[in-house]
Every structure is written in structure tokens, then in C-alpha cells.
Structure 1
Amino acid sequence: MFKRRFFLGTAGALGAAASVSKVALAALPEPVLQSKPDTMPPLEPPNGRPYRPVLTLNGWTLPWRMNNGVKEFHLVAEPVVREMAPGFKAHLWGYNGQSPGPTLEVVEGDRVRIFVTNKLGELTSVHWHGQRLPNGMDGVTGLTQPGIPPGKTFVYEFVARRPGTFMYHPHADEMVQMAMGMMGFWVTHPKGRHPLIDEVDRDICFLLNAYDIDPGAATPKIMTMTDFNLWSWNSRIFPGIDPLVVGFKDKVRIRIGNLTMTNHPIHLHGHEFQVTGTDGGPTPKSTRRYDITEDIPVGAMRQLEFLADEEGDWAFHCHKSHHTMNAMGHNVPTLIGVDHSGVASKIRKLIPDYMVMGERGMKDMTEMDMPLPDNTAPMMAGEGPFGAVGMGGMFSVVKVRKGQKRGDYTDPGWFQHPPGTVAYEFKGPLAEPVHGRAQSVGAGSMPRAQSPKTEVEVTVRKPGAGAHSNH
């Protein structure tokens, strides 16, 4: 599952990394690498204080070694290739073979030592977001430490003083390095029973991140500020995001961190949750409320908990509609209602693969077999039990099943709905509409200064039986 090797000072992708001798690395813990984009099983602690591990969605937890009572990790900052969805890979920067990097799990009170080796072509650092620690371990290049030069290894050491949900990322050339995917999750488990932290049956974590990668390209455009076209969870986009598999009546905790350039209202179908923690720690019980959508600000963590007491395949997604699409273009005109009769056939004489887009909305994209540049993720490509799922991006499914054993995250397949519980087509006669609305309408708060000389008549073209003839 994992590749283990000593880092012997190979150059980074930009060819600027300096070599590191075997002697210098002799005291380092062995770097553990992972290249698969699959969700790996929770890492049961082999030593140190016991805890119930988390599951990282489409990710993994970094193994460690105990050295005289200190928990030692080795992070390698390096260029990586990340499969964001089947058939689409991105050239990113990350840690230990992946972006985001592996999750670090420790226990409250642990003394932690993290070796960070830089295989990039420029200075880097690691900021331990949300941690209480000595100022010189905070990881801000130029302010609290010198940057880590290419080919060098720095050591961070501190005590994990409080339990909670945290993350790590650079504070060096931040616009580039975070835009390229350098980030990771950190979980500090409580050392014992905590009055504000409940025991749960499933504990799942992931980071929100976003990229701007042109169709057919593989490297993010780091100068983008707002118009991202790939919205992802742990650098995966639907249908590449694994389902969140839980057992019926399980108490579930989901930890989410946001390192994109905008907020994300994360919405769960079929259940209500409570916000039980932030990167400031567990929330007081007096502040908790039941909700179905939680807006996660930039640079923030949220910890959601719910009782999975409704069986089914429940959608779980960002509620910003453009964030559930892939490879979006932002300059596409709206063609809804435009009559393309006869136009498509004429254009196909010049461009054989031409297809009409957007005449009835963009859902047609799920059914089109339109040629795409190599290494491009379709806007919507998921296939569900009832046909194409018109979603992409920040979307997955919470699968709640009876009989799902504790610790078993195997995909159980599609939910088998009991008879009579699926929406169906009505085949009886339709009643004529009744025009019962009041004839008077509002006149506005005050008269218009200039009124149009004539009323504008707007008509609507409704798709008929031949609506698919141009496609």
C-alpha cells in the first residue's frame, strides 16, 4: 500500500534541489509515500497513546515512529501527480507523494517532532494552523524562521497542547504553494474523556481546495483569484470523490477544512447535524444547534456531527451551484430558448463534431459524447442507479446502511429502495390550469421617472416532441 524509502536528495521538478547526504539523513524517520488516490483505511496506532483514528476521504494518515517518548513524523514537500478524477490528472505540489499531504494524528499531550524535507525548487515552510506552540515553531518564513532551502531538512518540535481539528500549510510564497496544493490535515485526539468531545462511530476528515486548470492542461494557473473551474475535496472532484460509508444509527463526525479562496455552504441531505468544533476547539454545548447547511469560511475548520438514522444514498455537497461542476468555462453565453432549428446541421458540414449546447439547459452535458481534449474532466460525469447525476466538483454521497460493520468503509453499492418509496411518473389525465390569481398587481413604491412607450412582449419557446432533433 505504501512505499517506504530514505530520501537521498534527488532533485525536484524544477531541478534546483540540492543533495542531502546519507549521513545527514541517518537520524531521520523513514519517509512514507503514497501515490494512490483511494481512501485508505484508518491507521490504528501501533504505539504511543491509544485513540480511535480518523478516516481521510481519498487520503491517508502518515505513520510515525516513537523515539524516546517523542512521536516523530517525516514530511517531504515535493511535486506530485494527483489523479483528480478517473482520466484526469493534475501536476500539483504536495507532501509525501500526494496533494493534500497525509493526515497527522496525535494525542493531546504528545511531544511531536516533524522533519520537513524540501524537494521543491524554492524556499518553503510549514505553518501548523491552529496550534498553540512556541513562536519559533509557527512556520512563517522570515518572521519566525528562515525558509527551508531546496534540498534541506528542518525540524519542528512542540507539544500538542489541546485536542481538535487543525491543518498544515506553507507560509512561504503562499500564493504559489497553496494554489499548487500544499496543505494537509491534522487531528489531535483527546487524551481521555472530554466533556465537549463525544465518542463517535465514524470520524471522517477532508480539506476543501480549488484549482484553475485549462481543459487539456495539467498545471494550475496560480494567478487566478476568483474564477476557479475545479472545486474539490482533498484534490478530488466528483465522480472521483469516494462515498462516505456509515452504518445505520452510527454517530458520525465529519471534519472539514477550507483552504480555497471563498466560503462554502456544505449541505447534507436527509439528516440534521450539529457544529461541535472549530479550529478554536470544541464548541460549548450551549451554542450548538441543529442545521443542514454550514457555511465554512476561508481558512477555517468545522466539525459536524449527526446520527445516521435514515437509510439511503444521501447527497452531500457544497450548495454554491457552480461548485458542483467540473471544468467550467465562465464566458459561455446563455442559449436557453434559442431556436437552433436547421443551424446545427449546417455547422456540422463544416465542423463534423459540433453539438448544440445549452438550448434547454446544461444537463444535456451529462448525455453528450462530445470530444474533449486529453486530460479534461467533463462538467458532469457521474452515473447513478437512475441515470446521469447532473453534478460534479464538491459532491459526494453519504451511504447509510444497516449491517455495515464498525470499521468497514467498503462501498455497499446503490441503495435498494423499499417498494413504493421512489418518485414515479404520473400517467393519469392532467387537469387544466385554473387562473385564480388576483387581477391587481403591485405598483411599486413610487412612479417611474421614465416609462417605456410600449409594453415589451416576451414569449417563451417550450421544447416539444422534436426538441432533441438538433442534438
Structure 2
Amino acid sequence: MTFSRRTFLGTSGAAALISAGAVSGRAQAAAIPEAPTTDTPATQPPLVPTSGPDYQPVVTLNGWTLPWRMNGDWKEFHLVAEPVTRELAPGMVANLWGYNGQSPGPTIEAVEGDKVRIFVTNKLPEHTSIHWHGQLLPNGMDGVGGLTQPHIKTGQTFVYEYQLQKSGTLMYHPHADEMVQMAMGMMGFFVVHPKDPAFRRVDRDFVFLMSAYDIEPGAYVPKVAEMTDFNLWTWNSRVFPGIEPLICAKNDKVRVRFGNLTMTNHPIHMHGYDFKVSCTDGGWVPENAAWPEVTIDCAVGQMRAFDFLADKEGDWAIHCHKSHHTMNAMGHDIRTFIGVDKKAFAKKMKRLAPDYMPMGSAGMADMGEMEMPLPDNTLPMMTGFGQFGPVEMGGMFSVVKVRQGLAANDYKDPGWFNHPEGTVAYEWKGESKNVERAQPPVIDKATTVELQVKKPGPGSQHKNH
């Protein structure tokens, strides 16, 4: 994992509080755990526990797990809220706000029953707070600025302390100036593993958070006041082809967890499998009540997890099933030209703009393979290539790659699937001699029933029976 270490020193002389309180002053700051940081967009290996209860650590798509230290019987973490630069995909970066060098922030992992102490240092230009979404904890640790605690002002460090009362799929995000701070990318995953290492255990456990941005072509900062017309739909602030694949060994038990901090719902669909919904931010779905799906909707503010047995090799798509959410840099004022003959118009336009290309008369698929000039820091609307050509996707799209013979902790991309002979759809180039053409049904006039419908005459009234 690519980390740097840093220690943050406070500016005032107040004492540390054993609550959601400010920590400041050199003597107190010296006791704060260091805050690891990274700016790589690559998925980092899982952080395997070396002490305490055993569990299968999660893999954060294009992210990482925050290291901790033990201080007595407290597990201590350090989050730093700060401006960050995030690569959404090769060719485009965004100036966001996040934690410890990234948006979303690093995943926090702990175990049911753990006592956690989380230091939060604010390096934003305004105050903030952190709400621990889905956690059961004392009211004063809930993180609602102004209601349950003072705001964390710029330069301050606050401490949150509580014991983890339940395992499950949770997250953290600000509860201060939410419209700006969450729209700028401030969020993170919080996974609490069961105390019993055997409870609902899987072999591979993936997590990601969904967020949305409106960043105009050539710009770097999201329009934080946007409510509906987002043009970049992301998993962990990444868009396809920047979202890394989910690598699974054949016959692994696999869990995929995700949370939604966008402004709309997302029906997440996985190809090739049916799965069982296993967990929400409210807790575990009992095994005898887990229901089968191939698509599970995740509403705003919700968390969902599903489990499946990876018993079918291949490169299986996983994506949001709202078609505009698998596109990049969507232009919401694009006119529809399907069926319009633009040849004469294009000829005249090329006199003024020699590079003009008429598009849209037969759909937009040709955009998937064209390398058109774009403004700086802008992605194609549909992009990405597979072994058979352009994938014509973007946004919330990735691939579940299931392969035979992977080692337990091998998450390296195995490349494209080598399809067995005869298992790829192909072009038909001849008539089949053995296919019987379907014939229209024969109507037996002798048994045909004629319905006579009498229309109401002038002045008649219908009666309800």
C-alpha cells in the first residue's frame, strides 16, 4: 500500500476531551495517532488482521483500508478532512474534498464489540463534523454539527469514542454543510465484522460507495448546487473505464457491498448470476429470509450487500441499470437526430469547420470507437474497449472477473476471459437446412365466436353495475 505518514498539531491550549471534543495543543497532539494517506487510484490489497478476532478483510474498489493502532483496549484511527485531487479515470481529474488524500476516504474496518477512538482533524476551509451512518452509539457521538456536538472548526481535531454494538455494512459522512461537503466527495465506508469469525463468512468481500458529480467539460470542481442534472455517476469517485474489476476465484463465496450517497436510486445489476441480498445498513438479513435477485435497488442513504457463489468463469458485467448512469460527461441538451439525413448539412458545415462530423442520425454507438478531440480534463461520453471492440459504457460500470485457480489473496487483473471454443455468439452466414419456419395459426371458422358490440345511441347513459 502506498502511504505517507504525517502528524497534525493543534493550535490552542484546550485539553483533550474523552468525548466528541476538540484535541489541541502540542502535548495532546503528540498522542494523536499518525494519519496515513495515499493518492493512488489503484485498488489496494486487503488489510489482513494480525491480532484480535479473525475476519475476512474487505477490498475497496479503487481504495484502501485505514490502518489503526491499539492503545490499551481502544482501536484508534485518524481521519483528516481535506481538499483532495481525485482521478475519475485516466484523462480526467477532479478537485474534491475527502479524507486522508482521497475521495471517498479510506474504509474503516473493525469488529463487533471493539472500542474505537476516531480522531478527526479538519483541514477544510470551513467547519465540518462526521456522522457514523447506521451505528448505534451515544447521542453525543452521532456527529450532527450544532445538534449533538460543536462543529469541528478549521485546524481543530475532535475525538469520537464508542463501542461497536453490531456488525454490518455502514458508512461515514459529514453532517455539516451537507449540500457542499457531500457533493464535494466527503464520505467513506465503515465495515464492522461479526465477532464470530464463521458468521456469514465469505472468501472475497468488495465495497464501494456511489456518488454523483456535475463537472462541466474542461472544469475541475463539481457544481455543488446541482440537484438533478449530474453528468458523472461514480463508484468510489471513479467512472468506467477507471473502475477496477472485481477479481474472484472460481467457487469463491463472494460478497459485494455498496452504499448510495447520490441524489437518486440505483438498481445494481450483475450479469451471469443470481444472488441473495444478505445485509443492509440496518443489519443482516436472516439466511432463511434472504431473497434471490439479479438486480437490487439501492435508494438514497441506503446500504446493500449481496452474496453469490462464483461458480461460472467469465467477464461478467456489473452496473447501474439506469442507462444514463453508465455514461460519462452526459450533455443534457443534446438534440435527437435519429432518422435525420444530415449529409447536405454536413457538406456545408465542413466548409466552415473542416473537422465537423455529423453524428446521431443512426444512434450514438459510433461515439464509442471514435477518438474525437475533447476539451482538456474531459472524458468521452461512452468509452472503454474489450477484447471484441468498444464497450460503449461509462459511469457506474465494471466487470466481475471469475477465474479458475486464483490464489486466495490474488486480486491482480487476469486480463480478458479466454472463452472455450463454441461459446461466443457469432454472425450467421447461411440458411439452416433443419430449421422449421413458424407458421401462422389456423383459425377454424366453424368455431369462431362473433362478438356483436352495440354502441350507445344519442342520449343514452352508461350505468355502473
- From 28, 41, 46, give the equivalent of 1:42: 46
| Matching residue of 1:4 | 5
Distance 2:300 2:114 in 1: 29
Q: Does 1:153 align with 2:154?
A: no
Matches within 5 A, 1:341-420: 341-420=343-422
Q: Does 1:84 align with 2:88?
A: yes
Distance 1:35 1:170 in 2: 21
- From 163, 181, 185, give the equivalent of 1:181: 185
Task: Describe the SS at the equivalent of 2:95.
Answer: strand
Matches within 5 A, 1:212-361: 212-361=214-363
Q: 1:342 to 1:446 in 2, by over 3 A?
A: farther
Distance 2:173 2:373 in 1: 37
Q: Which 5+ residue runs of structure 1 have no aligned equivalent? A: 11-18, 440-444, 448-471
**Alpha-carbon distance, 1:370 to partner:** 1.6
Aligned-partner residue type, residue 55 of structure 1:
V
**Alpha-carbon distance, 1:222 to partner:** 0.5
Task: Describe the SS at the equivalent of 2:380.
Answer: coil
Task: Describe the SS at the equivalent of 1:128.
Answer: strand
Task: Describe the SS at the equivalent of 2:348.
Answer: helix
Q: Please say if residues 202 and 253 of structure 2, whose CA atoms lie closer than 8 Å, have aligned partners that are also in contact.
A: yes
| Matching residue of 1:95 | 99
Q: Does 1:134 align with 2:135?
A: no
Q: 1:438 to 1:186 in 2, by over 3 A?
A: farther
Residues 92-125 of structure 1: CA deviation (Å, up to 9, x unaligned)? 0000000000000001111000000000011100
**Alpha-carbon distance, 1:130 to partner:** 0.2
Residues 17-71 of structure 1: CA deviation (Å, up to 9, x unaligned)? xx97644420100010010010000011233433221111110000011001100
Distance 2:371 2:174 in 1: 41
Q: Please say if residues 353 and 371 of structure 1, whose CA atoms lie closer than 8 Å, have aligned partners that are also in contact.
A: no
Distance 1:346 1:182 in 2: 49
Aligned-partner residue type, residue 83 of structure 2:
P
Q: Please say if residues 268 and 298 of structure 2, whose CA atoms lie closer than 8 Å, have aligned partners that are also in contact.
A: yes
Q: Which 5+ residue runs of structure 2 have no aligned equivalent? A: 12-22, 444-452, 456-465
Distance 1:350 1:278 in 2: 57
Q: 1:333 to 1:446 in 2, by over 3 A?
A: farther
**Alpha-carbon distance, 1:349 to partner:** 1.6
Root mean square deviation of aligned Cα: 2.2
Q: Does 1:68 align with 2:69?
A: no
Q: Please say if residues 277 and 304 of structure 2, whose CA atoms lie closer than 8 Å, have aligned partners that are also in contact.
A: yes
Aligned-partner residue type, residue 297 of structure 1:
A
Q: Please say if residues 53 and 197 of structure 2, whose CA atoms lie closer than 8 Å, have aligned partners that are also in contact.
A: no
- From 110, 117, 128, give the equivalent of 1:106: 110
Aligned-partner residue type, residue 58 of structure 2:
V
Q: 1:170 to 1:437 in 2, by over 3 A?
A: farther
Distance 2:407 2:401 in 1: 13
Question: Rg larger in 1 or in 2?
Answer: 2
Distance 2:292 2:92 in 1: 38
| Matching residue of 1:32 | 36
Residues 268-301 of structure 1: CA deviation (Å, up to 9, x unaligned)? 1001100011001101223212110000111001
Distance 2:159 2:454 in 1: 69
| Matching residue of 2:170 | 166
Task: Describe the SS at the equivalent of 1:71.
Answer: strand
Aligned-partner residue type, residue 73 of structure 1:
F
Q: TM-score, normalization: structure 2? A: 0.89
Distance 2:159 2:421 in 1: 60
Aligned-partner residue type, residue 338 of structure 2:
I
Percent of matched pairs sharing the same residue: 65
Distance 2:185 2:228 in 1: 16
Q: Please say if residues 43 and 63 of structure 2, whose CA atoms lie closer than 8 Å, have aligned partners that are also in contact.
A: yes
Q: 1:347 to 1:20 in 2, by over 3 A?
A: farther
Q: 1:356 to 1:435 in 2, by over 3 A?
A: farther
Distance 2:269 2:397 in 1: 10
| Matching residue of 1:200 | 202
Aligned-partner residue type, residue 161 of structure 2:
E
Residues 363-398 of structure 1: CA deviation (Å, up to 9, x unaligned)? 111122221100001111201000000111000000
Would you say how many aligned residue pairs link Structure 1 and Structure 2?
431
Distance 1:309 1:385 in 2: 22
Q: Please say if residues 76 and 116 of structure 1, whose CA atoms lie closer than 8 Å, have aligned partners that are also in contact.
A: yes
Q: TM-score, normalization: structure 1? A: 0.88
**Alpha-carbon distance, 1:352 to partner:** 2.3
Q: 1:288 to 1:342 in 2, by over 3 A?
A: same
Distance 1:21 1:363 in 2: 60
